[in-house]
Structure 1
């Protein structure tokens, strides 16, 4: 049994792991900007709320989002490197790849915004965070349409 055979055998497991990790990562990408909205708009109205928001945001990033992003990438790379699974002559693997890179950039952008909150230098408004909350939705649409329709 050569490496290609092993990869082909493990492919459904990698694909399942990839889907589960992406679901977890996306949940965080949707929820963290919403937490930032509440952090900006409500934290100062409630006594001792700021440390609670910071704890929630930090744990979401560190315990859920970061590991889910790493597993999404690792399983996704395994999938695309499995011989015969991706036809690179189509557009869809490239649109999906570009969208995943953009999603990773967005993840890091959120991490920087968390650091701004932690260091008490956030300048963005709740409205701006609401608008940024649409970024993962648009990227998800591109990824899902690309993978399902394989144009």
Structure 2
């Protein structure tokens, strides 16, 4: 249970960052003054680099559980494969956020604040799906 507890702690911390970073993108895309632009660049960079270790620890403890007992118990169940696919998509989302941080840092943002509002909903949908799959184990 210690593995699961640490996995959940790191997952909650990762999600706090992955929920907030795209919200910063929304406000950054709306900013028109240089001081605000510089402030958002700093906040985005710091948050991304603060959040990334939590993602790595979430994955480490998740794969440790998978190796330790979950794969043997659930490898034939489809929900686990879907959950792992969704986690892969979430990691890709996180890495894409890093790319967006770099684009903002170079003043090369090409998306509107409305696009970022929709983009911000992706981790919410993934979180709901992953939690339902892990708890209900529907198939």
Match of 1:39 in 2: 28
Q: Unaligned 5+ residue runs, structure 1?
A: 1-11
Q: Say if 1:80 and 1:86, in contact at 8 Å, map to a contact too.
A: no
Match of 1:78 in 2: 64
Q: Over alpha carbons, which structure has the higher Rg? A: 1
CA RMSD in angstroms, aligned pairs only: 1.2
Alignment of 1:102 with 2:55, yes or no, is no
Match of 1:57 in 2: 44
Choose 80-89 or 122-131, whichever is displaced more: 80-89
**Runs of 4+ off more than 4 Å:** none
Q: Say if 1:33 and 1:132, in contact at 8 Å, map to a contact too.
A: yes
Distance 2:81 2:62 in 1: 13
Match of 1:25 in 2: 14
| Aligned residue-pair number | 137
TM-score, normalization by structure 2:
0.94
Alignment of 1:87 with 2:83, yes or no, is no
TM-score, normalization by structure 1:
0.86
